[in-house]
Amino acid sequence: MTKSSPSTTTALPPQHSPAPHDVRAIADLFDMRGDFIHAHPYGSGHINDTYCAAMDQAGQRVRYVIQRINHMVFRKPHELMENVDRVTRHALAMLKAEGHPEAYRRTLTCIPAHDGTSHARDDDGNYWRVYPFIEGARGHDEIHSTEQAYQAARAFGNFQKLAATLGGARLHETIPDFHHTPKRLAALEAAIVRDTAGRAAEVREEIEFARARAGDCAQIVSLLENGDIPERITHNDTKLNNVLLDDATAEGVCVIDLDTTMPGCVLYDFGDMVRTATPTSREDDPDPAGIGMQLDLFEALLRGYLSSADFLNEAETEYLAFSGKLITLEVGIRFLTDYLEGDVYFKTRRPGHNIDRCRNQFGFVRVLEQNMAAMERTVREISRQVRS
Ligand code: ADP
Ligand code: GN1
Ligand code: MG
């Protein structure tokens, strides 16, 4: 079964977005080698402010992504951009070394600011960066075929494989403890106590749902702590719309949104693919009652991921099925926490958006629990096939 309604990323600005920025003035801070034509808000990311800008370069129209880094979320933008710069330069060097004919379409590359650095600050203290717009490909909020699932997962696996060859110092942790699920649960408990927005009483059921799964929250973190699972460089935000698939062939062309690329655990990356690619409803569907899980897409993700991520150890392989449930639980906990805190972290486009998202995620956790045995069987079968 595949999803029916076509949907790619939308261009709607979020409800509480700041007044539109003067993107022409921002473009002027960078070495764009062109004349500004226009820009509009772009994509459906929950964190940064993203614009698609058209420039005239000596008579040729060229598009760029101009992005404001959300520095309330990423408290050290310099460190973040140092990571992005290192990872993207490394990717470009590898692509060029293998003689790839479209190296600049296969990785993000930073357009330098006039001082040669990879980002610039505006007069309001905002941090900005510019990437070439990857043409002929797009990020999807939902997918429609097993081929798309396979290709997306293969691209994220390739990204991890490439990151493993990055030399030099350990990458900065752009958000400390980003996937420390027990600490996410502790943050929820603290938000319940503060009850800043006076909403705790209306979400008792969701709070109990999360508390009942405290044991699950600790699972991967303890395997990391006891060394059964190694630390690797991971992407940490592998939702489906963070990989651009070729419009014509569905091939995973470019992994984007590198803000959380840092030391982590591969399972959270695979899990987030499961969370975003296999449900039958969207992340913010307010009615999770009818939500289902598409096992054929799970199998395709697995095949795609294992086709490139050929370095997994036994424990990593064993927890692939569980990882989808864990990150769905974690993201649901984060939406619930943000709802209690008055919607300060994730962009929201309507009142109650975060609690709708939370209910959807928790609904999907239940569905994954019901499907766990089948998913584990699939992992055993496919990993045996891939290894032999
Ligand atoms: P956020 O952190 O807010 O999710 P992203 O970096 O994921 O921001 O960008 C938001 C959206 O913009 C993406 O989902 C994708 O659709 C689009 N996008 C980002 N970078 C590019 C790019 N270089 N080329 C084409 N589209 C892009
Ligand atoms: C955010 O930036 P975006 O929209 O790709 C969030 C992820 C969540 C996701 C939930 C830095 O991802 O961690 O899983 O929303 N990114 C950050 O959709 O918090
Ligand atoms: Mg994104």
| CATH number of the domain bearing residue 229 | 3.90.1200.10
Phi, psi (deg, nearest 5) at residue 140: -120, 135
* 356 touches ligand 2 (CB under 6 Å): no
Give the model confidence (pLDDT) of 189-220 as tens digits.
999 999 999 999 999 999 999 999 999 999 99
User: Do 197 and 125 reside in the same domain of the chain?
Assistant: no
* 242 touches ligand 2 (CB under 6 Å): yes
Task: Please give the distance, rounded to the nearest whole angstrom, from the Cα atom of residue 138 to the centre of ligand 1.
Answer: 9
Q: Which of 83, 111, 135 is the last residue of a domain?
A: 135
Residues 6+ apart with CB under 8 A from 175: 73, 74, 260
Report the nearest-CA residue for atom 5 of ligand 2: 45
Q: Which of 135, 167, 189 is the last residue of a domain?
A: 135
Does residue 9 sit within a domain? no
* Rounded distance between C-alpha atoms, residue 66 and residue 76, angstroms: 19
Domain span including residue 150:
146-387
Q: What is the pLDDT along the chain (388 residues), one digit of tens a residue?
A: 333 332 333 333 343 445 579 999 999 999 999 999 999 999 989 999 999 999 999 999 999 999 999 999 999 999 999 999 999 999 999 999 999 999 999 999 999 999 999 999 999 999 999 999 999 999 999 998 999 999 999 999 999 999 999 999 999 999 999 999 999 999 999 999 999 999 999 999 999 999 999 999 999 999 999 999 999 999 999 999 999 999 999 999 999 999 999 999 999 999 999 999 999 999 999 887 889 999 999 999 999 999 999 999 999 999 999 999 999 999 999 999 999 999 999 999 999 999 999 999 999 999 999 999 999 999 999 999 988 8
User: Do 39 and 171 reside in the same domain of the chain?
Assistant: no
* 45 touches ligand 1 (CB under 6 Å): yes
Does residue 14 sit within a domain? no
User: Do 160 and 92 reside in the same domain of the chain?
Assistant: no
pLDDT of residue 387: 81
User: Do 89 and 157 reside in the same domain of the chain?
Assistant: no
Give the model confidence (pLDDT) of 32-44 as tens digits.
999 999 999 999 8
Q: Where are the beta strands (DSSP E) in 186-242?
A: 232-234
pTM confidence score = 0.94
Helix/strand/coil for 238: coil
* 326 touches ligand 1 (CB under 6 Å): no
| Nearest-ligand number for the alpha carbon of 257 | 1
CATH number at residue 95: 3.30.200.20
Q: SS3 string of 290-343?
A: HCCECHHHHHHHHHHHHHHCCCCCHHHHHCHHHHHHHHHHHHHHHHHHHHHCCC
Shortest-distance atom of ligand 2 to CA 330: 14
User: Do 106 and 184 reside in the same domain of the chain?
Assistant: no
State which H helix or E strand residue 100 sits in: none
| Nearest-ligand number for the alpha carbon of 68 | 1
Q: Which residues pair with 187 in a beta bridge?
A: none
